[in-house]
Amino acid sequence: MFKYDSTHGRYSGEVKAEDGKLIVDDNVISVFQCMKPAEIPWGDAGALYVVESTGVFLSIDKASSHLQGGAKRVVVSAPSPDAPMFVMGVNEDKYDPSSMTIVSNASCTTNCLAPLAKVIHDNFGIQEALMVSEIIYYHLQTTVHAYTATQKTVDGPSAKAWRDGRGAHQNIIPASTGAAKAVGKVIPELNGKLTGMAFRVPVADVSVVDLTCRLSRPASYADIKEAVRKASEGPLKGILGYTEDAVVSSDFMGDPHSSIFDADAGISLNDNFVKLISCSEYNAFWRCVQAGATYLFVQLCKMLFLATFFPTWEGGAGVYDFVGEFMKATVDLADLLGLHLVMSRNAGKGEYKIMVAAMGWATAELIMSRLFVHVFVLGSWTALLVKAVLTGSISLCSLFLYIMLVHSN
C-alpha cells in the first residue's frame, strides 16, 4: 500500500522489505509490530519524536506509553481529551517545552478552520459562527466527510449511529463534528461562539470547510479577501493558502497548506454576515504513512525541537537573539529540501546528496555562529551586522540549493 495509492497513483521509486526493514529507495526504515506503545524500542531506533496516528492512544496517559520506549515527545494526530492542542499558525507560540511532552495537533478540519477563523477574528471580530465541513478519507469527527476507512462500502449495521452504516459511495451522510468546538481551545476568544456539523460525501480526497459568521466590525467581502490574502503571504505563509481561480476540489490534491481560502466561492449577505469557503487535502494522512510525516507534523515537530533546544536567548538587550533565529532558518532549509523530496515522490541519489551537503553546511555555519557569540563581546550594531550577514547568507544558500535540487533530475 506504500507503493500503490488509488488516489495519488503509483510511487515511482523502489519499495521493498528486507530483514524486517522497509526500504524506500536508499532509506532503511525500522518497522515494529507491537500491540502496546511501551513495547516499541523508540530509543534503539533513534526516534525522538513520535507521531501517534492510530486514533487509539489519544489521552496523555495512553500516549505517554511511547515515552517508556525511549521517545522524548509525542504528537497526537487527532483531538485529545486532555493533551494541549496546537494548530500551526494559530497558537504554537503557547507551547511550553518544560512541561508539555504530549501534545495534540487537533483534527484535520480544525487545522483547516482555525487559521481562517483567526484571520477573520483578528481583523473583523467574530460574534458567532456556524461551520459545515466536507472531507474525505479518515475518521475525524469534525468534517463533512466523503467516505472514510470506518464507513461501509454497502449498507450495514453501525454501532455509533444508524446513518453511519449506509453505503459510503452512494450517499451524502450527515455527521457530527467537533472541529468548531476545538477551535475554541486553540483560540480561546472564540470559545462558545462556534458550532458546526459535517457531511460525509462520495469523494476520495479533499474537503471543504464552510464558515458562516456574523462580524463584530463591518467589512465588505473585498476587505475580507484582502485580509486573508495578506495573511497568506505574511504570517501564515505556507499554512493558509489563497486562490481566486475557478477551481474544484480535485485541484487541491497534493497541496500541503492546512487551509486554502477559495476567494471566488464565498458570499456576503451584508457587511456583517458572510459565508467563507476554505479547502484542505485531508488524504495527506495516508501520505503521512508513505512519507514519514505530513507537512503539518513536520512543522509541529520542528516547533517542538526549536522550543526545547533553542529557546529565545535573553541578554544584552536581545543581542544574541539572532542565534535562535539562525537555528530556525537552518531548520527551515531542511524543511524546504525535505518537503520537495516528499512531494516530488521521485527523489534520486543526487537529490539526497545535495540535502546531506546542505545539512553539513548549515551545521558548520551554526557552530561558527555560536562560537562567535560566545568568544566575542558584541555591541548592538555589530550584532545587527552579524545577524544581517547570517540571515542573508542562509537565504542565498537556500535559494541556490533549491535551484540545484529542482534541476538535479
Catalytic residue ranges:
108
Going by C-alpha positions, the residue among 193, 189, 268, 183 that lies closest to residue 223 is 268
Q: What three-state secondary structure class fits 101?
A: coil
Residue 197 φ/ψ, nearest 5 degrees: -145, 175
Spatial neighbors of 280 by CB under 8 A, at least 6 apart, are 108, 109, 111, 112, 135, 206, 207, 209, 252, 255, 257, 258, 259, 260
One-letter amino acid at 213 equals C
Give the C-alpha separation, 370 to 366, whole Å.
Answer: 6
Spatial neighbors of 378 by CB under 8 A, at least 6 apart, are 316, 319, 320, 386
CA distances from 345 to 13, 339, 353 (A): 7, 10, 16
Give the C-alpha separation, 227 to 244, whole Å.
Answer: 14
Residue 354: how many CB atoms within 10 A of its CB? Answer: 17
Residue pair 253/8 in contact (Cβ under 8 Å)? The answer is yes
Calculate the dihedral angle through the C-alpha atoms of 325, 328, 330, 333, rounding to the nearest 10 degrees: -130
Residue pair 324/366 in contact (Cβ under 8 Å)? The answer is no
Spatial neighbors of 237 by CB under 8 A, at least 6 apart, are none
Which three three-digit cell numbers place residue 303? 516547533
CA distances from 293 to 198, 246, 299, 337 (A): 26, 30, 10, 14
Q: Which residue has the cell 467563507?
A: 276
Which three three-digit cell numbers place residue 93? 507560540
